[in-house]
Amino acid sequence: MAEIRKIKVGTASCGLAAGAGAVLDFFRDHAGVEIEEVGCIGHCYAEPLVEVVTDAGSVFYRDVKGEQACLDNILALGETGRLEVSPSRRKYEMLKVTRLAGRICPTSFDAYVAEGGYGALKKALTMTAAEVVDEVKRSGLRGRGGGGFPTGMKWQFLAAKQAEKKILICNADEGDPGAFMDRSMMESVPHQVLEGMLIGAYATGADILFIYCRAEYPLAIKHIRIAIDQIREHGLDVVNGKKLDIIIKEGAGAFVCGEETALIASLEGRRGTPRFRPPFPTDRGWNDYPTSLNNVETFANIPLVIGEGGAAFAQVGTEKSKGTKLFALAGDLKYPGLIEVPMGTTIGEIVFEVGGADPDQVKAVQTGGPSGGCIPKELFDTPVDYDSLNALGAIMGSGGMIVIGTDRCMVETARYFLDFTHRESCGKCTFCRVGMMRMYETLERIVAGKGEMSDIDFLADLGPKIKKGSLCGLGQTAPNPVLATLRYYKNEYIEHVRDKRCAALVCNALVDVKLDPEKCVKCRLCIRNCAVGAISDDFVIDNAKCTRCNTCIDVCPKHAVARVEKGEGYYAE
Amino acid sequence: MSDKFAYLSSVERSRTYLIKGLQTVQAHDGYISDAAIEAIAAYFSVPPVDVEGVVSFYAQFKRTRPGKYKVAVCDGTACHIKGSISILEWVGTELGIKPGQTDRDGLFSLETVACLGCCSLAPVMSINGKVYGKLDRKGTVKILKEYRKNG
Ligand SMILES: Cc1cc2nc3c(=O)[nH]c(=O)nc-3n(C[C@H](O)[C@H](O)[C@H](O)COP(=O)(O)O)c2cc1C
Ligand code: FES
């Protein structure tokens, strides 16, 4: 049998949430081999995950438990519980930016260096600053935070500024609920993000580096903090002959603070309200100093760009979108997790081949989060690149990709996004503040079965006006989920309004709950668990009392209780 | 400034650190009291109304005292698709409170959050920062009962 060298336990947030902490403790006490903590390899569906490193290569185990039987199986390199990566996933994935994610200890400086880390920084320091900027331009790298602005150009603007101080900010706000690429990178390979920032500081002449990270990511903040201390210890924070100020700041829970001018306001200790551009941050940014912002993933690409050279980097991807892209896959699919594919891979390849979703069970995919739009299955041969997605009225966004199954209601989904965005509007622009509220109320009415046909036209009319009448990207994109669902799923809106019917049986106001006496075994579990006493002793559900909380459906061992269309259930007076 | 907030001196005294100051107070007291607003205003030499403005803008800051256990049910996109509304309902029933409320004993408070970054394990919730994934009704209720037992 192959000899075991060490066991790596994935302890990124996703792993810990699945119970990796207990695995780590148990293995440390009982395994008798070296145990190493690593980040996330992207196969989050299989957490807790461990990698057994042997002299004959690595074996991965999934759904690991901190129990003797599980450990014994792993130490014997047993066949059960191994992580099988499908050949189709292997075919489409291309691990470049995430090459080290989950493979090395995130808090070890030496581990990163042993894998060639900080080699790109060293190389950059032998070039002139202008050469570094040129290399980034040659790579065709575009911002991964959503806008897709060419990174080299942004850096050139900042480099050209003469000022007492220049600021470079890493946008780690990752506000799109359902996206976790940036979290994973910061938790798993924090040094790669910092290396990108240091190269950026050299190229642009920045003096202060900020990392603005959302507070919901405590582990990412911790790892970045440790990494900053380590680069200080090794003197890597001295660039262009001056010591850089590297400051990590925690966000405080506001989606709009991902927008660059709002983020800067927040960094100044103010309400995160966006402002009109121009002046652009490169002209007037943090405390009026010239400032440039880039996303976490953008920075994580920089060591690759410099390491392999811009021209080599540009070999991957499409004509206008270069390199690879990380996507956070979640929702109704078999293998939720983090993936990296070349730009230009089609949505279908990502969702079906990599994500393992069942084509018969998928209705659409939402890209770009609340600023994005849904893409129906019929259009899944669209390649993911900035321009193709824009053409569909969706956006690439930062890389959140939520698969929406056939049993979901698109009207409810649109309502959900509007619920989010109307609350996140900072209130500065009237169209965004009031218009979004009106759209939200209209959608609430429709899902409550109180909509009128004119409401549908109202939504279609108001959406574009909000987009035009808003200053920042929030208002300019927030109507997208509604407009996109109206475009592709108007029939669902019409059903809700005209027929008072939710075909997916999701909208509470349009469904009843019914118990099928044929299947019922009279175990009384439903009666005992009903919080409002809506189920009678002879097993009839009173829909007048029922709150549609799904508890009875969940507890019934015989699946005798189900949601049915409104009017099919029983109502006591 | 009253002695109660003396620990604020660990935060740099410049407007840029106002949010850090608020975060420090909240980490210490669990919420931002009226007295804290006054103390922070004095510390950073800004009007209290400015502090109040910042507090009300950011969802993170709480103006009421939370429970010993802060339960946050994720209603981010992935969790929403995976049925977070039912989870929220079940948690609410078990704890007897609605989002934004603290129970009478001050043991639990409940809120919703938009994404904890563990979307691949949706639906998820966190209790005092510890994240629980792949929730179903039974598991959720069991976790809460465990916390209640430990008091
Ligand atoms: C409402 C709104 C939210 C945003 N949220 C984020 C975010 O969470 N993370 C991010 O990197 N960019 C976000 N952006 C984009 C930023 O404004 C900015 O374009 C980006 O950070 C620039 O970096 P890049 O060029 O590397 O993409 C957001 C924009 C808007 C309008
Ligand atoms: S949506 Fe719930 S953790 Fe991301």
For residues A385 and A423, state if they share a domain.
Answer: no
Range A13-27 average pLDDT: 96
For residues A220 and A255, state if they share a domain.
Answer: yes
The reply to whether residue B54 touches residue A269, judged by beta carbons under 8 angstroms, is yes
- What is the tens place of the pLDDT at every residue in A414-464? 999 999 999 999 999 999 999 999 999 999 999 999 999 999 999 999 999
Atom of ligand 2 nearest to the CA of A179: 4
Q: Which residues line ligand 2 (CB under 6 A)?
A: A 177-178; B 74, 76-79, 115-119, 122, 124
For residue A564, what are the β-bridge partners?
A512
Give the CATH number for residue A161.
3.40.50.11540
Residues A296 and A183: beta-carbon distance below 8 Å:
no
For residues A353 and A396, state if they share a domain.
Answer: yes
Query: Percentage of chain B surpassing pLDDT 70?
Result: 99
To which CATH superfamily is domain B69-150 assigned? Glutaredoxin (3.40.30.10)
Is residue A156, in this structure, part of any structural domain at all? yes
* The two three-digit tokens of residue A227, written as one number: 């990494």
The reply to whether residue A17 touches residue B124, judged by beta carbons under 8 angstroms, is yes
Rounded Cα distance, A347 and A351, in Å: 6
Expressed as residue numbers, the domain containing A246 is 109-313
- What is the tens place of the pLDDT at every residue in A106-154? 999 999 999 999 999 999 999 999 999 999 999 999 999 988 999 999 9
Task: Give the ligand at the shortest distance from the Cα of B87.
Answer: 2
Q: Is the pLDDT of residue A392 over 90?
A: no
Give the CATH number for residue A61.
3.40.30.10
Is residue A337, in this structure, part of any structural domain at all? yes
For residues A116 and A249, state if they share a domain.
Answer: yes
Rounded Cα distance, A424 and A472, in Å: 12
Taking one residue from A and the other from B, the number of pairs with CB-CB distance under 8 angstroms is: 158
- What is the tens place of the pLDDT at every residue in B108-138? 999 999 999 999 999 999 999 999 999 999 9
Give the CATH number for residue A447.
1.20.1440.230
The reply to whether residue B121 touches residue A47, judged by beta carbons under 8 angstroms, is yes
- The minimal CB distance from B81 to the residues A331, A338, A550 is found for A331
For residues A277 and A165, state if they share a domain.
Answer: yes
- The minimal CB distance from A330 to the residues B20, B58, B122 is found for B122
The reply to whether residue A44 touches residue B58, judged by beta carbons under 8 angstroms, is no
* Domain range list for chain B: 3-57, 69-150
- Average pLDDT of chain A is 96
Atom of ligand 1 nearest to the CA of A299: 26
Is residue A468, in this structure, part of any structural domain at all? yes
* The two three-digit tokens of residue B144, written as one number: 């809460």
**Ligand 2 geometric centre to CA of B74 (Å):** 6
Identify the residue among A45, A216, A329, A561 best suited for mutation to test binding to B, counting B beta carbons within 10 A and taking the highest.
A216
- What residues 215-244 of chain A have any CB closer than 8 A to a CB of chain B? 215-218
**Ligand 1 geometric centre to CA of A145 (Å):** 5
Rounded Cα distance, A469 and A41, in Å: 42
For residues A252 and A357, state if they share a domain.
Answer: no
For residues A439 and A492, state if they share a domain.
Answer: yes
- Nearest Cα of chain A lies from the Cα of B4 at a distance, in angstroms, of 23
Give the CATH number for residue A401.
3.10.20.600
Provide the 3-class DSSP secondary structure of residue A417.
helix
Say how many domains are in chain A: 5
Res A329: pLDDT = 96
Residue A336 touches partner B, C-beta closer than 8 Å: yes
For residues A357 and A233, state if they share a domain.
Answer: no
Q: From B80, which residue of chain A is nearest by alpha-carbon distance?
A: A416
Which of A185, A199, A259, A294 gets mutated to test ligand 1 (max ligand atoms within 8 A of its CB)? A259
> Roughly how many angstroms between the first and final C-alpha of chain B, as a whole number?
35
**Ligand 1 geometric centre to CA of A393 (Å):** 18
For residues A424 and A521, state if they share a domain.
Answer: no
Res A218: pLDDT = 95
For residues A392 and A440, state if they share a domain.
Answer: no
Residues A353 and B100: beta-carbon distance below 8 Å:
no
Single residue among A49, A84, A119 that ends a domain in this structure: A84
- What is the tens place of the pLDDT at every residue in A188-220? 999 999 999 999 999 999 999 999 999 999 999
- What is the tens place of the pLDDT at every residue in A487-527? 999 999 999 999 999 999 999 999 999 999 999 999 999 99
Q: Is the pLDDT of residue A51 over 90?
A: yes
- Nearest Cα of chain A lies from the Cα of B61 at a distance, in angstroms, of 7
Name the H helices within A83-141.
87-92, 109-114, 119-126, 129-139
Burial of B15 (0-12, 13-18, 19+ CB in 10 A): middle
Is residue A283, in this structure, part of any structural domain at all? yes
Is residue A540, in this structure, part of any structural domain at all? yes
Burial of B150 (0-12, 13-18, 19+ CB in 10 A): exposed
Give the CATH number for residue A531.
3.30.70.20
- Nearest Cα of chain B lies from the Cα of A530 at a distance, in angstroms, of 10
Per-position DSSP letters for A304-345, written without gaps between them: HHHHH-HHHHTTSB-SSSBSEEEEEEEESSS--EEEEEETT-
Q: From A183, which residue of chain B is nearest by alpha-carbon distance?
A: B117
Distances (CA, A) of A38 to A30, A102, A141: 19, 5, 28
Q: Is the pLDDT of residue A323 over 80?
A: yes
For residue B69, what are the β-bridge partners?
B108
Q: Is the pLDDT of residue A396 over 90?
A: no
Residues A403 and A348: beta-carbon distance below 8 Å:
no
- What residues 28-57 of chain B have any CB closer than 8 A to a CB of chain A? 44, 53-54, 57
- The minimal CB distance from A408 to the residues B58, B81, B134 is found for B81
Spatial CA neighbour of A298 closest among A93, A155, A400, A401: A155
Range B9-32 average pLDDT: 95
Range A533-553 average pLDDT: 96
Range A86-105 average pLDDT: 96
For residues A202 and A309, state if they share a domain.
Answer: yes
Range A255-276 average pLDDT: 96
- What residues 163-222 of chain A have any CB closer than 8 A to a CB of chain B? 174, 176-180, 183-184, 215-218
Res B2: pLDDT = 59
Identify the residue among A181, A289, A402 best suited for mutation to test binding to B, counting B beta carbons within 10 A and taking the highest.
A402
For residues A433 and A386, state if they share a domain.
Answer: no
Residues A501 and A510: beta-carbon distance below 8 Å:
yes
